[in-house]
Amino acid sequence: MREAARQSGVFLAMLYGGLAVGVLYDLARGVRSVLHAGPVLTGVLDLLFGALACLPAALLVAAFSHEGLRAYMLLGMACGLLLYLAGVSRLLRLLVRALCGACRRIAQTRAGAWLRLAVRRALR
């Protein structure tokens, strides 16, 4: 019974690790978008993502498992990543887009007001 309880805790930790990998994926997606990445840069960023995605898995396996990597651990990480990509990622992307749009509108409004003020002062 204790083994099952320990394994469920490890599964949950791996699930959280999968969520962290999902956040990393969204960060890489944002970098690709900002840089207007072509095929070469996309390949480099994908390799970097793959290397960094292994890091949480390795750290979690080292911290929580005495018997090494098991299939349920990989399943937990995959489930966390899928949960993130299916739900949380979409919501966060919508929120970021809304915030960026609001900041853009505020900046345009303030910039427009400052520009009008500067023109008025220059014409005096």
pLDDT value, residue 38: 84
Quickly state the pLDDT bin for 9 (edges 50, 70, 90).
confident
Mean model confidence pLDDT for the chain: 82
pLDDT value, residue 112: 63
Against a cut of 0.85, is the pTM above it? no
DSSP string, 48-88: HHHHHHHHHHHHHHHHH-SS---HHHHHHHHHHHHHIIIII
Q: Residue type at 55? A: L
C-alpha distances (whole Å) from 19 to each of 23, 24, 57, 80 are 6, 9, 11, 5
pLDDT value, residue 110: 66
Ordered by start, the domain boundaries in the chain are: 2-88
- Is the confidence at residue 90, as pLDDT, over 80? yes
C-alpha distances (whole Å) from 85 to each of 10, 15, 22, 23 are 21, 13, 6, 9
- Is the confidence at residue 11, as pLDDT, over 70? yes
- In three-state secondary structure terms, 37 is coil
pLDDT value, residue 49: 86
pLDDT tens-digit readout, 20-69: 888 888 888 888 888 887 888 888 888 888 888 888 888 888 887 777 77
**Mean pLDDT throughout 87-110?**
80
